[in-house]
Amino acid sequence: MTSGTGGKAAVPPTTAAAQAPPHVHPPVPRVADDPADVAPHAVSAWNIANALTVLRLVLVPVFVAALFAGSGQDRGWRIVACILFAVASVTDRIDGDLARRRGLVTEFGKLADPIADKALVGAALIGLSVLGDLPWWVTVLMLARELGVTLLRFWVIRHGVIPASRGGKVKTLLQAIAIGLFVLIPLGSWLEPVAWTFMIMAIVVALATAADYVARAVQLRRTTRAASEFGSAPDR
């Protein structure tokens, strides 16, 4: 059939509708389709790494109670205290590894972990000195070193972060072994020279790493200041 004016065949409405391409809605993109639109994954503070940190904090007063039980010289309680200290010290290594490996690093963990570490070591050193098993000069020296390094980190925090050195990890291990042995001294006098050997090594490494932290902090400040001055200098 042709139209009366144009001479062209008229297409039935049903046929035209069938030939017209269907309207296809564009797929709704998922958030993950565009990496720029992916919201950062919020890590909950309720995780296994932080739970171990909290456990270490909880064990500090329990350890102190066991250390001073039985006038502080009861062999059985000293063994209990040593076990508690060992368990708490092991959690110090595990929680950090878990947080980094499983992406569980949180602001709470960054704050609570060093507090738990220093609370445990400080309680052990002070407790042993109060009981007369460790001279006060050792306790003051080691705690002063810890405080000094902490203040040093805050001093350069706006310039960068000073990562923990391998020497610092060695110091932590030697110190933990020495403290554990001093806790067990009532079990036998033969433990005292062994404990002192590890403690002296810990002191030497502590002083060496403290000097290294100072050198790195000064270098970090100089580098960032030089870069800042170079970036702000007018072009010639």
pLDDT digits (tens, 9 = 90+) for 170-215: 999 999 999 999 999 999 889 999 999 999 999 999 999 989 888 8
pLDDT confidence bin for 95, thresholds 50/70/90? confident
Q: Are 152 and 214 in contact (CB under 8 A)?
A: yes
Regarding the domain delimited by 48-221, which CATH topology (the fold level of the hierarchy) does it fall under? Answer: Four Helix Bundle (Hemerythrin (Met), subunit A) (1.20.120)
pTM of the model: 0.72
Top pLDDT among 118 and 217 is at 118
Top pLDDT among 147 and 45 is at 147
Neighbours of 127 (CB within 10 A): 22
101 vs 227: CA distance, rounded Å: 33
Q: Provide the β-strand partners of residue 2.
A: 9
- Farthest-apart Cα atoms in the chain, separation: 123
The residues spanned by each domain of the chain are 48-221
